[in-house]
């Protein structure tokens, strides 16, 4: 008699941890954007990613840490894009405009990041657990901005108008402020306005080196 039974199946392959994190972050970004931070449930995020809620706790520890990881990932991507642009052949003279264009595009195209970031920061003002995540995250972002300023200045032989730490704070606050203004009044504070504001401030913080006078100017 022919045996029609299915052969025994081996153990189900375990999903790599990095893939689990990636899927959870992607699902969380969608759920947070749709419902807002306060109204998003970990159960729904886990289900969206195809896991149980335990996967969130084992990879991130809490809802606050999960959300902070999303903001950190997006901020890192923006800094990488700006630094990549600074390393192209455009030269230091056009860098403020080019960097401002990248930041303006991200502010106006990724409005969920700005909206959720504001919600998260407001919650941190009266929720200690959220503050414990937001405070180091904001410090990381300011320090990253300061490093970018220092690296760009060194590469272009530019003397920053203020210390890089202060320049990083200024750019960090300007970016957050422009994001907020664009959210509430996108017609007046549109991409071009955001780009011009960022470019003006970056130019002031990283003034171009004075050019040597030509022979004609010296003789004149």
Could you tell me the CATH number of the domain that includes residue 177?
1.10.357.10
Regarding predicted confidence, which is higher, 213 or 88? 88
Same domain? 56 vs 159: no
The answer to the question of residue 42 being in a domain is yes
Q: Are residues 140 and 42 in the same domain?
A: no
Q: Does residue 81 sit in the same domain as residue 171?
A: yes
Q: What SS3 string covers the chain? A: CCCCCCCCCCCCCCCCHHHHHHHHHHHHHHHHHHHCCCCCCHHHHHHHHCCCHHHHHHHCCCHHHHHHHHHHHHHHHHHHHHHHHHCCCCCCCCHHHHHHHHHHHHHHHCHHHHHHHHHHHHHHCCCHHHHHHHHHHHHHHHHHHHHHHHHHHHHCCCCCCCCHHHHHHHHHHHHHHHHHHHHHCCCCCCHHHHHHHHHHHHHHHCCCCCCCCCHHHHHC
Of the residues 5, 37, 61, the one at which a domain ends? 61
Give residue 16's pLDDT. 87
- Is residue 164 over pLDDT 60? yes
Total structural domains within the chain: 2
The mean pLDDT of 203-211, rounded to a whole number, is 82
Q: Are residues 113 and 187 in the same domain?
A: yes
Q: Do 47 and 128 share a structural domain? A: no
For residues 45 and 124, membership in a common domain is answered with no
Domain co-membership, 56 together with 70: no
**Mean pLDDT along residues 175-194:** 96
Domain span including residue 55: 16-61
pLDDT digits (tens, 9 = 90+) for 104-149: 999 999 888 888 888 889 999 999 999 999 999 999 999 999 998 9
pTM: 0.79
Highest mean pLDDT pick, 78-82, 137-141, 208-212: 137-141
Is 32 a domain residue? yes
Q: How much of the chain, in percent, has pLDDT values that exceed 70?
A: 88
């Amino acid at each position: 008699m022919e045996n029609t039974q299915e052969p025994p199946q081996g153990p189900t392959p375990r999903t790599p941890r990095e893939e689990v994190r990636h899927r959870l972050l992607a699902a969380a970004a969608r759920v947070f954007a749709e419902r807002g931070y306060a109204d998003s449930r970990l159960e729904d995020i886990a289900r969206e990613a195809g896991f149980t809620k335990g996967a969130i706790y084992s990879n991130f520890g809490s809802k606050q840490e999960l959300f902070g990881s999303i903001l950190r990932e997006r901020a890192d991507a923006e800094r990488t894009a700006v630094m990549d642009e600074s390393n192209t052949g455009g030269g230091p003279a056009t860098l403020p405009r080019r960097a401002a264009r990248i930041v303006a595009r991200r502010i106006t195209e990724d409005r969920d990041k700005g909206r959720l970031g504001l919600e998260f920061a407001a919650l941190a003002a009266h929720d200690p657990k959220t503050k414990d995540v937001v405070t180091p995250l904001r410090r990381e972002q300011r320090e990253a901005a300061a490093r970018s300023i220092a690296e760009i200045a060194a590469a272009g032989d530019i003397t920053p108008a203020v210390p890089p730490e202060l320049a990083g704070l200024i750019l960090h606050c300007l970016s957050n402020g422009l994001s907020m203004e664009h959210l509430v009044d996108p017609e007046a504070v549109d991409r071009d306005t955001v780009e011009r504001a960022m470019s003006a401030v970056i130019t002031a913080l990283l003034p171009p080196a004075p050019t040597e006078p030509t022979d004609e100017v010296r003789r004149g």
